[in-house]
Amino acid sequence: MLLHREGFATIFIASIVLIGINYLSDKFISYSLIKNTLVLLSLAVFIIILQFFRNPSRKLNLEANSIIAPADGKVVVVEKVFENEYLHTECMQISIFMSPFNVHVNRNPVGGVVKYFKYHKGKYLVAWHPKSSELNERTTTVLQTKGGEQILFRQIAGALARRICWYVKEGDTVNQAKEMGFIKFGSRVDVFIPLDAKLTVKIGEKTIGGQTCIAQLK
């Protein structure tokens, strides 16, 4: 299993803490049932942390006219909205919720030039809250395709996610489905697409980052 580089420090610290807890329990607790329980709980926690930071190798779906899912998860919103940060027009919003058990690598939904990027400090509402897209800690990225279409997407921190990582900046030329960031411990990604794009997912469907086509551009 490949591990994402964003998890190295967390895994190291968790290992030290868990080893310390079990060392102290072995030294000061005489009841074997308690000690064995702590060992099992520590192992379970460590496995959960490992799986959260997994970064599986996968075949990417590269299609010039397709908008590819930027994250693994579940589609929780498909609706027409007015995007008021950069595009200032009505768009279709597709929101993908990532549970702590999903792969949390974020990918570029299209290839093109980064026309706009901004990090916003904010709250930590649960990721499925309707206002999380506007109030939570988040980033906003706008990619312009070769055809001139502008696709806006946001990394949004959830109640557990307290760190958003990104690897793009304004002016960069990026490839479709390539890694652009990571969100730690539960989160959401919103994608804002043109109204004339053909939707290929609906609410409740599961997505695979870099593989699932969520819409087709005209």
Residue 126 maps to a domain? yes
pLDDT digits (tens, 9 = 90+) for 101-156: 899 999 999 999 999 999 998 766 665 555 656 667 899 999 999 999 999 999 99
Phi, psi of 173 (to 5 degrees): -100, 125
> Domain span at residue 22?
5-52
Are residues 188 and 133 located together in one domain of the fold?
yes
Which CATH number is 94's domain given? 2.70.70.10
Asked whether residue 70 falls in the same domain as residue 47, the answer is no
Considering the domain architecture, whether residues 158 and 194 belong to the same structural domain is answered as yes
Regarding whether 22 and 106 lie in a shared domain, the answer is no
pLDDT tens digits, one per residue of 47-82:
988 988 999 999 998 998 999 999 999 999 999 999
pLDDT, position 116:
98
**Catalytic (active site) residue 132:** no
Same domain, 81 and 145: yes
Higher pLDDT, 99 or 66: 66
Can you name the residues that pair with 136 across neighbouring β-strands? 123
pLDDT score, position 122: 72
Same domain, 95 and 194: yes
- Same domain membership, residue 186 and residue 82: yes
Same domain, 88 and 26: no
Gap between the Cα atoms of 77 and 84, Å rounded: 18
CB 183 within 8 A of CB 106: yes
- Is 59 inside a domain boundary? no
The half-sphere exposure of 38 on its side-chain side, counting CA atoms within 13 A, is 19
Residues 133 and 40 in one domain: no
- Give a yes or no: residue 57 inside a domain: no
- In angstroms, the CA 128 to CA 135 distance is 12
| Number of domain units in the chain | 2
The answer to whether residue 142 sits within a structural domain is yes
pLDDT band at 175 (very low <50, low <70, confident <90, very high): very high
Same domain, 177 and 72: yes
Q: Which of 154, 168, 166, 70 is nearest to 114 (CA)?
A: 168
Q: Which entry of 66, 95, 132, 187 is annotated as an active-site residue?
A: 187
